[in-house]
Amino acid sequence: MAADLARFTVILKVSNILFFLFPPVLIHLFQEYSKFVNPGINVLWVLLMVVGLSSAYFHATLSLVGQLLDELAILWVFMAAFAMFFPKRYFPKFIGGNRRVLAFYSSGFSFVSTGFLVMHPAANAFALMTLALPAIGFLFNELTRVKCTRVYRLGLRCAAVWFLAVFCWILDRMFCDAWLSINFPYMHGIWHILIFIASYTALVLFAYFNVQEERPEQKPQLKYWPRNDFELGIPYITIKHPCKVDKDIAI
């Protein structure tokens, strides 16, 4: 049993490596976006690293503090992305089309939600999972509007990876003992890898949608690293016609 637990912990630590390897690369690739669109994009990449660090700490200690750090980091990634990328055409009238006001209300919601997460830790995983549902809904809605087939294909791949990740999460939650009984303690690690891929890809897509809607004159372009003709590489956004950073940014 101790050997299985040790191997399980090692697997989870290894599966969190992506949270530390990819964000620095994305910060480098998004230099143009950060300079000419919104420097706050780097906050999202740093928060992903915080998620990875918190997750690694939680699975190494299996403590309540580690669990809360992990879940709170995920919550703040969601809310920061919401404040930064939520389409202005859906803004309520009382916000007045001001993204900074949206960020203020999002921060307030995050602080209140933080209190609930601390008070009811048993329900946190399911509560956080529900936040992904509107995000996927908005993703599909934006894909119906997008004209770039390359972006459309990436959106479909992102959604497919997310659904596969959730499927693995459900299997892990419901049949954890069964997986261990057949000496297969990898399902939760697979979930970590898939949800990271889906998460950072979604952030890339919403970064594209945000520029395309609010600053279309900048002509955002989806590219891939290390080879632009290899669509399974790391996606990022470049700006064809750069201009000054918009002052109405959330972060």
In whole angstroms, what is the distance from residue 213 CA to residue 236 CA? 17
Q: What element of type H or E holds 164?
A: helix 149-174
Which residue's entry shows tokens 């202005």?
Answer: 88
CB hemisphere CA count around 127 (13 angstroms): 16
Name the percent of the chain in helix, strand, coil, to the closest 5. 75, 5, 20
- Is the Cβ–Cβ distance between 84 and 249 less than 8 Å? yes
The pair of three-digit structure tokens given for residue 40, joined into one six-digit string: 């706050």
Residue with tokens 């004159």: 217
Q: Is 192 marked as a binding-site residue? A: yes
Give the span between the Cα atoms of 168 and 67, in whole angstroms: 19
Q: Does the annotation place 28 within a ligand binding site?
A: no
Q: Does 120 carry a binding-site annotation?
A: no
Query: How many whole angstroms separate alpha carbon 133 and alpha carbon 148?
Result: 24
Contact 13, 60 (CB under 8 A): yes
Tokens 């918190």 belong to residue: 54
**How far apart are the two ends of the chain, measured CA to CA in Å?**
47
Known binding site for Zn(2+): residues?
Answer: 59, 188, 192
Known binding site: residues?
Answer: 59, 188, 192
